[in-house]
Amino acid sequence: MQGPQIEPLVEDDRERGTFRVHRSTFTDPAILERERSEIFDRCWLYAGHESELRNPGDYITRKVGGRPLLLTRDANGQRRAFLNSCTHRGNAVCRERSGNARVFTCFYHAWSFNLEGSLVGLPGEDAYSAAFDKKQMGLKPVPRFESYRGMMFVCFDPDIIDLPTYLGDAREYIDAMLDYGGDEVEIVPGAQAYSMRANWKLLVENSIDAYHVMSTHQRYFRQFLPDIGMDPNQWIGPGSMSATRGIALNNGHALIESPLLPTPLTGSAKLELEGIRATLDEKFGKERASRIADYSRNIFIYPNLILISMWRTVRTFYPVSPDFIEIDAWALLPENESQELRERRFENFISFLGPAGFGTPDDVSGLEGCQRAFASQKEVGWSDISRGMGRAPLASDELQMRAFWRRWQAMMLGADGPTDCSDGSETAVATTATQ
């Protein structure tokens, strides 16, 4: 394989307990080029949720894996995913973010495509020769398109393993997040779309990093939480981390998990939450209901999806350049809860994760600061990610990041098979790799 030497960029010594990553992985355009072909073109990528295509004719457009996509629900109710690029001379056939339509008419020369992607009309059709085959000129479907419990994924590699196998052990944790919504969850219309002058892998690390929360997000813990009647010491007091876990799963997926604090809600919203809990107890039994409702988890699905259970958030991102990413985040909420509870969830979500909340601007500042300082990599060349090696990993350790980087290195080297993403048998929670 031509291009950058990957092997020396991740130094992983499980015996000694050292792990470091060279900072050129965050800045080198040749690395990003390889990431596009070896990672983003070969992994399942989150594209949307089935609740966004509820009725025949519904459609959404978005960028996934660097490509413009058009997702539709056709007249028979089947959901489809196409490249949103006209087969005539390339323009986007749909320029809206979402809506309901029977046909999509390209703005440029007015070719029209139906919900199944077929070319159904073009001005001046008689100008084309007999060799022009209209049937071959439909919108191009993405090579692979599958859903897991309503979450729609695409893959640009036609030979990828099926989605459930790819998700592997992560399914248990995704299920726990989705089961909280009872039978149905939905994406609330609207998204938070923002960008950051930082490498995409910094956001992977940050999204499963409990080590930074006390230092980076002091205002939230020391000021905001007491203001809304919560005791921050339950989260950040001495010993609070000991009940947490960092978990490396298969295929580079990973998560952090911590017990959830008692809710500060009162009145009817509190009663409604208690009702949800009673329903979960009944449906799943007390033990599983506790696994679902009593823990906060940040679940990382390799390579670029984060599910944040506390804020019921789905977040994905993609690199535009080595030092710039675009991020999209949606709220995934139970369908049938009251307006009041929904508003309280949104307040909670926006107060921390909103682009102007207490959390996200801090993180943007942290990550952009790292990226700027990588200019000194000739002198300060390595980032240390060894925290917690050799012990049962806590959420404030860095096993979950090492899991990502181990899979990253393997895929960048062209691996087809599984990768052991754990620190070693004594500290691993789950190491089975299925790809």
Which residues of the chain form contacts with ligand FES (CB under 6 A)?
Answer: 86, 88-91, 106, 108-111
Q: Which is nearer to ligand FES, 79 or 88 (CB)?
A: 88
Q: How far is the CB of 372 from ligand FES (least distance, A)?
A: 40
- Residue 272 CB, shortest distance to ligand FES, in Å, is 49
363 binds, among ligand FES, Fe ion, none (CB under 5 to 8 A by kind): Fe ion
* Smaller CB separation from ligand FES, 14 or 88: 88
Q: Which residue is nearest to Fe ion (CB)?
A: 363
Nearest C-alpha neighbor of 142 from the set 91, 74, 76, 70: 70
Residue 323, by phi and psi: left (phi above 0), alpha (psi -120 to 50) or beta? alpha
Residue numbers at the binding site for Fe ion (CB under 5 A): 363
Is the CB of 108 or the CB of 132 nearer to ligand FES? 108
Using CB distances below 5 to 8 A depending on partner kind, what does residue 178 bind out of ligand FES, Fe ion, none? none
Least Å distance, CB 111 to Fe ion, is 46
86 touches, from Fe ion, ligand FES, none (C-beta below 5 to 8 Å by class): ligand FES
Partner that binds at residue 222, options ligand FES, Fe ion, none, CB closer than 5 to 8 Å by kind = none
d(CA 166, CA 160): 9
CA distance 365 to 367: 6
Q: What does 132 interact with, of ligand FES, Fe ion, none (CB < 5 to 8 A by kind)?
A: none
Instruction: Name the E strands within 302-415.
Output: 305-308, 313-321, 324-334, 382-384
**Smaller CB separation from Fe ion, 302 or 352:** 352
CA pair distance 87, 139, nearest whole angstrom: 6
**Minimum distance of ligand FES from residue 90's CB (angstroms):** 6
Nearer Cβ to Fe ion (40/300) = 300
Cβ neighbour number for residue 111 with a 10 Å cutoff: 23
Least CB distance from residue 64 to ligand FES, whole Å?
Answer: 21
Q: Are 423 and 389 in contact (CB under 8 A)?
A: yes
Contact 382, 23 (CB under 8 A): yes
Of 336, 75, 368, residue with least CA distance to 206: 368
- Minimum gap (Å) between residue 122 Cβ and Fe ion: 50
| Residue 109 interacts with which of ligand FES, Fe ion, none, CB < 5 to 8 Å by class | ligand FES
Element at 62 (helix H, strand E): strand 58-64
Q: Calculate Rg over the CA atoms of the chain.
A: 23
**Between vectors from CA 164 to CA 287 and to CA 311, what angle results, nearest 5°?**
55
Binds 197: which of ligand FES, Fe ion, none (CB < 5-8 Å by kind): none
